[in-house]
Amino acid sequence: MTGRRILIIKLTGKAFNNAEIIKSHIDTYKGIIGQGYKIAIIAGGGEIARRYIDIARRAGLQSNYWLDMLGIMASRLNAYLLQSLLRPMSYPRVPAGLEEVVEGLDRYPVIVIGGLIPGQSTASVAVEVAEALGSQIVVDYSVIGMVYDRDPAKYPDAKPIKEISAKELIELLEQSSEPGHYEFFDKKALTLAVRSRIKIYVTSYKEPGSIWTILSNGNPGTIIYPE
C-alpha cells in the first residue's frame, strides 16, 4: 500500500462531549475505509484531560511529567472509545508508541491513538504518525476550524488564513507548554512536516465530511503547506 492511501486524522478532545458528533465521525471514517483508505486517528484529550490534570494539581501533584502523562492517559480513553466503535476494523488497543502504530496499521485498516509523550501536543503526534506511516495528509479536526493570525478567542479582529507554509506558521506561533493547553503544532512537528512533505488540513470537528472535500482537492479550512 502506498503512503498516499493512508490518511492521518487528528480529532479534538472537544468532540467527545457530544455523542452525535462522535457518531457522525465514525460513520465518515467507515466510509473512508470503505473506499480502500487506511486511517490513523489521533484523539485529543479535551475536557477530561483538563479535568484530571486539575484534580491532580489540587490534590498536590506538582511534576509536569506526571501531569502530562495524566493528560495522555485521558486522551487514550478517548481513543479507546473511538476504537471500540470502529471494531472489528480497528486495532483493538490504543498503542503506546510509534512502533506499535506502524505494526498495528500494517494489519488493520484503522488504528486510534492518544498522546504519546509528555510535553507534546496530540496535533504534533499526528505529524509524527504521518511520517512514520509514510502518509502525506494530516486532517486536523479542530475546535476553531481554521488557522488565524492570532488567537481568535482573545482578539475579535483575528484574521483567518486559507493557506500558509509550515515555515511561516512556525514564525507565527508562540505556544505555551503548560500541560493540557497544547492547541497547535509545535515547531518540531512543523519541521517534520516540511522534511517529509506532509500537508496539513485544518478544519472544524463539527464537519466530519471535510475529509471528502480534502480528497477532492478542496480546502475546508486552512491548508498548511510543507514548505
Q: Which residues bind a second copy (CB under 8 A)?
A: 1, 16, 19-20, 22-23, 26, 48, 52, 54-56, 58-61, 63-67, 69-70, 73-74, 76-77, 80-81, 84-85, 87-88, 91-93, 96-99, 102-103, 106-108, 116-120, 128, 131-132, 134, 177-178, 186-188, 191-192, 195-196
Question: What is the nearest approach in angstroms of a second copy to the Cβ of residue 100?
Answer: 10
Scanning the structure block, which residue is given the C-alpha cell 480546502?
219
Please give the biggest Cα pair distance in the chain. 50
- For a second copy, give the closer residue by CB, 158 or 173: 173
Cβ 11 to a second copy shortest distance, Å:
13
The set of cell numbers assigned to 26 is 465514525
**Smaller CB separation from a second copy, 143 or 158:** 143
CA angle 227, 190, 32 (to 5 degrees): 90
Nearer to a second copy, 88 or 156 (CB): 88
Q: Which is nearer to a second copy, 1 or 218 (CB)?
A: 1
DSSP class per residue in 158-211: --EESEEEHHHHHHH------TT---S--HHHHHHHHHTT-EEEEEETT-TTHH
Residue 155, all three cell numbers: 482578539
Q: Rounded to the nearest whole angstrom, what is the least distance from the CB of residue 148 to a second copy in the complex?
A: 22
Minimum distance between the CB of residue 56 and a second copy, rounded to whole angstroms? Answer: 6
Instruction: Please answer whether residues 12 and 45 qualify as being in contact, where contact means their C-beta atoms are separated by less than 8 angstroms.
Output: no
CB of 126 vs a second copy, minimal distance in Å: 13
Phi, psi of 224 (to 5 degrees): -105, 115
Work out the angle at residue 63's Cα, subtended by the Cα atoms of residues 60 and 65, and round it to the nearest 5 degrees: 135
Reference 190, options 144, 122, 121, 127; nearest CA is: 127
Q: Which three cell numbers stand for residue 92?
A: 483493538
Judged by beta carbon, residue 187 or residue 206, the one nearer a second copy is: 187
Give the residue with the Cβ less far from a second copy, 76 or 146.
76
